[in-house]
Structure 1
Amino acid sequence: MINKRKIFSAFFAAVVAVSISGCSMIQKTPEAIANSAVAVVNGEKITNDQLNKDPNTIQLIAQAKQQYGDNYSSNEEATSIIKSQKEQILDNMITQLVLSQKAKELNIMPSDSKINSDAQAQIDKMKKQYFSGDESKFEAALSQQGLTEKAFKDMYISQVKSQEVQESISQYLTKNIKITDKQIEEYYNKNKDKYTELPNKMTLKHILVKTKADAQKVKSRLDKGESFDTVAKEVSQDTATKNKGGDLGTIKANDTNYDSQFMAGANALKEGQISDPIQSNFGWHIIKCTKKITYPVKKLSEVKSTIKTQLESDSKTKLINEKITQWKKDAKITKKEKNIQ
């Protein structure tokens, strides 16, 4: 079981670690460095200070300290990773700022009072969960880490604001999305294998090679009648299965432990069929389905609500991503990665 008090303490430690790092930086460099812009979005700055106080950066620094020690800043590998990760965090901050600006423009920005209230509610829940509601124990824990409740709350306000802006934008954009019975029926007819009484099963063998050309050579040999097991033992790059003739055993048709492209290719095979070259994240495969067990498909009426929920979710995600991409494209964004400290 996860020790929640330890997680809580680690979180405090991460905050303090970055706070100490920040103080050191201020002593060594001009205060202007902290206030320098690392990005400008439609005239609004994101500063080094804001970047370093982002919860994701705090977690990043805590992980660096854990892996490389307190002197992580003198480790070339650590500083390179931190810089790269900070650039990704900055990209997320830019997106959040674009969304906040758009929420203000659309007059759907959550009020400061609501954000503050929700943040306080989360802190109160934390007090109850970790400290049985004992205010003095909570304050003592903060004090031990050199923190005030206000500083701790400020972090939650930032997180809650991001979450609630995203929710407001999502509700605004997707309020008119409707899924028709025709869409549900079409999806059902194209994906009946997803709605069987039990997950379909298939017994598979595969040969993994590095390139498409290599896979085509394997397929050619098999088409000429060579044994799948023999070819697998000779050329397969999958050390776990090659000596077994590429045997993967029997797996469920919806098994998410396998690469999605691999599974799509395997599911398309009939019993006894050998695939053409199929690419996955691991290389190129030739797959053989030696046995297939299929189950009856549920009636549309039994899965209609499930399909509707799935299609609504997919449509909302697609629309939101398209809009955010367009808003970022339309925004005047200047990134200044060289200023990241």
Structure 2
Amino acid sequence: MLNIQLMFTSLSQKKDKLLLKHIRHRRTSMKLLKKGMVLLMVGLLGFGVVGCSKAADNSQTNNKTEDVVIATVGDGKVTKKALDQQLVYLDSLMQWQYGEDYESNEEAMTYYNEQKRLMVDYLVEIQLIISKAQEYDVNVTADDVDEELELLKSDYDTEAAFEEALTTSGMSLEELKQMLKEDLIVNQVVTACTKDITVSDEEIKTYYDGNIDSFKTEAGATMSHILVATEEEAKEIKAKYDKGTSFEDLAEEYGTDDTKSQGGLLEYIPYNSTNYDADFLEGAKQLEEGEVSEPVKTQHGWHLIKVTDVNKEDQIKSYDEVKDEIKEQLLIQKQNEAVEAKIKEWKESTHIVINEDLI
């Protein structure tokens, strides 16, 4: 089942081309993702994360604006309250990025207003897709909505936790159920629009051949370390390792940097990385799979280094290894393009009025 869902995008991304992207998220319904937008999923992806945002404080005001129509989409409508519910989460992100007084920041408010206007476009597109339900023989029942609601509730430890999140969101249970119904309709319409899209083996192979570098793993290893101040300390720890104490336990006990809580784990590091000390990397390069070094001196102190997933040379994943991954990526891309084209077509044939003064 195809899910389309909102993604939170970086507040630094601006004016990128709008892009629909299909991605799957735990048990949520779908929403439209648009690159360069902070389109915020009401009640699902962001459900219960608002805390004490300014917009959340205005939930009572929202009730007064419920019937104020800010846009009509054929026979459908977008209300001021629907927009305000989205703005709850935008407000939280703005406070996180710019501080609680972001409204006094000209740059922040310019961005806020850009996102607000894009949210209106998003809500219009949702109504546009919903308007095509009958055309695609889509019928969402009350049982379907209840099932979706139970899936959403299962993400919370208790019923009380769910109720608290619902209250924080500023939505009533009926409003949440209506939103879930709309999500299901959108999901089914989009699925119907894209059900015949396929990706051929030829397309997959062409992509693989044209993007071979993206499937390359540079020579390197997954590295862990224990950093201490002196060579003597490092030798004592190495002796304990040689007697059978696990590297991870030793890192947790003796390590002096933030990696100690992860057993000293760093990451997969190419031997030619410029982000790590050259002496450290040279020491790691001499090790075989699973081996732990003798003490290695760097500008930071003395290290014991452990390596796994060792690649002495650059490795390129074979076509067979990545075929399914490429197929999924190309399928998503083609589905995106198909949905974009459909929405453009529907917009051209649907009477849409946006009341700019009410936004």
Partner Cα separation in structure 2 for residue 187 and residue 72 of structure 1:
44
Equivalence for 1:168: 188
Equivalence for 1:51: 83
Work out which structure has the larger RCO, using CA pairs closer than 8 Å and 6 or more positions apart in sequence.
1
How has the CA–CA distance of structure 1 residues 295 and 324 changed in structure 2, closer, same or farther, with 3 Å as cutoff?
same
The 5 Å alignment of 1:57-68 reads 57-63=87-93
**C-alpha contact (below 8 Å) 1:119/1:160 kept by paired residues:** yes
Secondary structure, in 3 states, of the residue corresponding to 2:336?
Answer: helix
Equivalence for 1:237: none
The 5 Å alignment of 1:133-172 reads 133=158, 135=159, 141=164, 147=167, 151-154=171-174, 156-172=176-192
CA offset at residue 9 of structure 1? 6.6
The 5 Å alignment of 1:47-196 reads 47-52=79-84, 54=85, 56-63=86-93, 69=100, 77=106, 82-126=112-156, 128=157, 133=158, 135=159, 141=164, 147=167, 151-154=171-174, 156-196=176-216
How has the CA–CA distance of structure 1 residues 149 and 85 changed in structure 2, closer, same or farther, with 3 Å as cutoff?
closer
Secondary structure, in 3 states, of the residue corresponding to 1:103?
Answer: coil
How has the CA–CA distance of structure 1 residues 45 and 296 changed in structure 2, closer, same or farther, with 3 Å as cutoff?
closer
Within the alignment, does 1:307 sit opposite 2:321 as a pair?
A: no
In the alignment, residue 344 of structure 2 is paired with which amino acid? T
Equivalence for 2:38: none
| 1:21 aligns with one of 58, 67, 70 | 58
**C-alpha contact (below 8 Å) 1:87/1:337 kept by paired residues:** no
CA offset at residue 175 of structure 1? 1.7
CA offset at residue 89 of structure 1? 1.3
Partner Cα separation in structure 1 for residue 47 and residue 197 of structure 2:
40
Within the alignment, does 1:316 sit opposite 2:335 as a pair?
A: yes
Partner Cα separation in structure 2 for residue 48 and residue 194 of structure 1:
45
Equivalence for 1:329: 348
**C-alpha contact (below 8 Å) 2:50/2:168 kept by paired residues:** no
Residue by residue over 1:159-218, the C-alpha shift from the partner in whole angstroms, topping out at 9 and shown as x without a partner, is 53454334313321222222222222322332333334x2489xxxxxxxxxxxxxxxxx
Partner Cα separation in structure 2 for residue 58 and residue 124 of structure 1:
23
How has the CA–CA distance of structure 1 residues 65 and 315 changed in structure 2, closer, same or farther, with 3 Å as cutoff?
closer
CA offset at residue 319 of structure 1? 1.5
How has the CA–CA distance of structure 1 residues 190 and 124 changed in structure 2, closer, same or farther, with 3 Å as cutoff?
closer
**C-alpha contact (below 8 Å) 1:200/1:295 kept by paired residues:** yes
**C-alpha contact (below 8 Å) 2:136/2:192 kept by paired residues:** no
What percentage of residue pairs aligned between the two structures are identical? 20
CA offset at residue 41 of structure 1? 0.6
How has the CA–CA distance of structure 1 residues 251 and 123 changed in structure 2, closer, same or farther, with 3 Å as cutoff?
same
Partner Cα separation in structure 1 for residue 51 and residue 212 of structure 2:
50
Partner Cα separation in structure 1 for residue 146 and residue 209 of structure 2:
48
Equivalence for 1:39: 71
**C-alpha contact (below 8 Å) 1:42/1:333 kept by paired residues:** yes
**C-alpha contact (below 8 Å) 1:40/1:46 kept by paired residues:** yes
Partner Cα separation in structure 1 for residue 130 and residue 334 of structure 2:
22
**C-alpha contact (below 8 Å) 1:41/1:332 kept by paired residues:** yes
In the alignment, residue 103 of structure 1 is paired with which amino acid? A
How has the CA–CA distance of structure 1 residues 324 and 339 changed in structure 2, closer, same or farther, with 3 Å as cutoff?
same
Number of matched pairs: 225
Secondary structure, in 3 states, of the residue corresponding to 2:199?
Answer: coil
**C-alpha contact (below 8 Å) 1:100/1:109 kept by paired residues:** no
**C-alpha contact (below 8 Å) 2:62/2:81 kept by paired residues:** no
In the alignment, residue 58 of structure 2 is paired with which amino acid? S
How has the CA–CA distance of structure 1 residues 111 and 296 changed in structure 2, closer, same or farther, with 3 Å as cutoff?
same
Structure 2 gaps of 5+ residues are 1-45, 221-270, 275-311
CA offset at residue 338 of structure 1? 0.6
**C-alpha contact (below 8 Å) 1:108/1:169 kept by paired residues:** yes
Within the alignment, does 1:11 sit opposite 2:79 as a pair?
A: no
Root mean square deviation of aligned Cα = 4.1
Partner Cα separation in structure 1 for residue 321 and residue 95 of structure 2:
52
Partner Cα separation in structure 2 for residue 297 and residue 9 of structure 1:
43
In the alignment, residue 21 of structure 1 is paired with which amino acid? N
Secondary structure, in 3 states, of the residue corresponding to 1:11?
Answer: coil
Partner Cα separation in structure 1 for residue 350 and residue 192 of structure 2:
20
